[in-house]
Structure 1
Amino acid sequence: MELRHLRYFVAVAEEGGLLTAAQRRLHTSQPSLSRQIRDLEAEVGVMLLERQARGVTLTPAGRVFLDHARLALLQVEAATDAARRMAQPERPVLTIGFMVGLEVTWLPHLLRIIREEAPDVEITLSSLSSPDLALALMRGRLDVAFLRPEAQSVGLSFKLLAKEPVIAVLPAGHRLASLRKIQPQDLARETYVSSARTSPVLQSVIQDYAAKVGITLKAKYEGENISSAMSLVASTGGITLVPLYAQNILTPNVVARALDGVPPTVDLTLGYNQANPSRLLRQLLARTDELVASVQNQSIIRYAEAPS
């Protein structure tokens, strides 16, 4: 008896017919498959299948044999995988998530630290909205992510990296583009484009800011994300409010300007799942202060320092 006999028998049992198994699963001819099954039954010494006009059914002996055949194939597969892992150990993998545009500032400095801690690690990157990053962390699909401290994030911890000032983005030819700073009252007189549809944390910060400075910001247009909001700004002539890092993804037809006075800030955090057992994750968390200092010293994007 060979492994192929077991694979053929399992395929026929699961497909319910010789022809279907031959065509869909085994890519062989029906006569050849029938011969292999007869050889198997001859070796076992009992009938395993009952041939019928519209397929086959398992005999009582066949049902018992099917369970053992499946188990035997699973054990062979497990043994093969174990041998391959022993001969060629899989490289460790670290999955990192970013809000779109943040990787430009933070990834080079993070990679330096990762290479020092684990030179052979394989790195996978994902760009998602902040709520989607939190969901991916909760589901174990990411090891670490640069995101907002999202509410309703069960099992996650957020390590504060920086407080990002919120800035205004407006068309390059806008009448306010010649100013170095934008007055809050000027915002209220312009067409407002929301950039926070997929960022409830940012939306809350902007609403609190508007209430504090005594203006109303009612979005006439809403972008799906910061990139689409900036496209709407360019096409409608409106203004949007975005975190400072969005300067990394400005298009040529829009410009960024600071807000006059004390600008609102939105927290940028390093999020991770508390249940994640990764040793490399713990090593990275231990060097977070070094990561922040490196970004603060070398990036042209100036973040407000996070409190110690």
Structure 2
Amino acid sequence: MELRHLRYFVAVAEEGSLTVAAQKRLHTAQPSLSRQIHDLELELGVQLLIRGPRGIDLTAAGRVFLDHARVALLQVEAASEAARRAAQPARTSFAIGFLTGYEMDWLPAVMGILRAELPSTEVVIHSQDSPDLAAGLIRGKIDLAFLRPEKQAPGLKFRLLRKDPLIVLMPRDHALTARNSIRPQDIAGETFISVSPLRAPTAWTAIDDYIKRVGIALKPDHQAENLAMAISLVASTGGVCLLPLYAQNLLPETVVSRPIQGAQPMVDLVIGYNEANTSPLLKFLLSKVDELKFRVSKAE
């Protein structure tokens, strides 16, 4: 088995199509890609993909193998990045990642601490989805990140910052805006916009668990790949969406939010870092986590 087999398999699994993966991700011929996947399945002795008229689905073995393949590829990238860093002079920059939208709450507090203590440090900011932030930490491209506690994240440590409730987003002219808070049964039957289980696995799990707990039937009509897409779909389809509270930071005038009645579903916001990272600045910031939380709570 070669690394290219893992890259090819991950691309096909994530795109859900041999043709799309071949053309957009791998820039290779589709028949060649099919042969590579077939060779991989023969070597493993199991079927990984089910090929159907609507695209590609993963078998149970394929879903398990996908998690391990992603981790293996991340570890190879991390090793390469570590080797490149070792051959270069010590850097004077520090990369901080934010789950898109959270920088509005946490970046001022971080910069306040850094300006006061280490004014000569160049701070690089990344705004991404949580899985991408975790990958950046693993690869050594991000030093510290505000994200979700990702499960497939070898070598990473997480420290809880706070728990955020999920809220209901809807168009400003939606009938439910007449309510101060939304009951679970209120959203049953509405056009429902789901988050992506790949791009927002923690939020997706929290929403799925909540739907099962309250016993409502919600079948997603649309799936949003990121926060901006979710807000856009709410505005354009007239549907509703469940998102963490921080989404309020990015709402246009055409979209409003309401809290959920009763026991609200929650998602964790954590600060994450790679335990192999020996940066003195990382150690310094980790010692200031309590101050960070105080600064943010004071500003709210």
8 A Cα contact 1:91 1:120, kept in partner: no
1:296 to partner: Cα distance: 1.2
1:117, distance to aligned residue in structure 2 (A):
2.6
**Which digits, 9 at most, give the CA deviation of each residue in 1:131-188, with x for residues without a partner?**
0100010000000011000011000001100001100000000000121101100111
Letter in 2 for 1:199: A
Moved more, 116-125 or 166-175: 116-125
Stretches of 4+ aligned residues off by more than 3 angstroms: none
Aligned to 2:158: 158
| Pair 1:141-2:133 in alignment | no
Residue number in structure 1 paired with 2:244 = 243
**Corresponding residue for 2:50?**
none
Q: What is the rounded CA distance, in whole Å, between the counterparts of 1:150 and 1:218 in structure 2? A: 25
CA distance in 2, matches of 1:172, 1:217: 21
* TM-score, normalisation: structure 2: 0.69
Counterpart Cα distance in 2 of 1:210 and 1:241: 11
Give RMSD over aligned pairs: 1.6
- Match of 1:49? none
Q: Distance in 1 between matches of 2:251 and 2:208?
A: 23
Quick check: 2:146–2:271 contact (8 Å CA) kept in 1?
A: yes
AA partner of residue 267 (structure 1): D
Q: Specify the SS of the correspondent of 1:207.
A: helix
Aligned mates of 2:112, 2:196 — CA distance in 1: 32
Q: Which residue of 2 aligns with 1:234?
A: 235
- Mind listing any 5+ residue stretches in structure 2 that lack a counterpart? 1-86
CA offsets, 1:254-277, max 9 Å, x none? 101100112111000000000001
Matched position secondary structure for 1:181: coil
* Count of residues in Structure 1 that have an aligned counterpart in Structure 2: 213
Q: Equivalent residue for 1:201?
A: 202
The answer (yes or no) to whether the contact 1:157–1:274 under 8 Å persists in 2 is yes
Q: Which amino acid aligns with 1:132?
A: D
CA distance in 1, matches of 2:168, 2:121: 39
- 8 Å CA contact 2:155–2:275 kept in 1: the answer is yes
Q: Distance in 2 between matches of 1:170 and 1:251?
A: 11
For the Cα contact (< 8 Å) 1:91–1:121, is it kept in 2?
no
Matched, 1:255 2:218: no
Give the Cα–Cα distance (whole angstroms) in 1 for the partners of residues 280 and 145 of structure 2.
16
Equivalent position of 1:50 in the other structure: none
Segments of 5+ residues of structure 1 without an aligned counterpart are 1-80, 300-308
Residues 206-258 of structure 1, C-alpha deviation per residue, up to 9 Å, x if partnerless?
A: 11111111112221101111110111111111000000001000011110110
Are residues 1:93 and 2:96 paired?
Answer: no
8 A contact 2:145–2:272 mirrored in 1: yes
Task: Tell me which residue corresponds to 1:25.
Answer: none
TM-score by length of 1: 0.67
Q: Is the 8 A contact 1:101 1:246 kept in 2?
A: yes
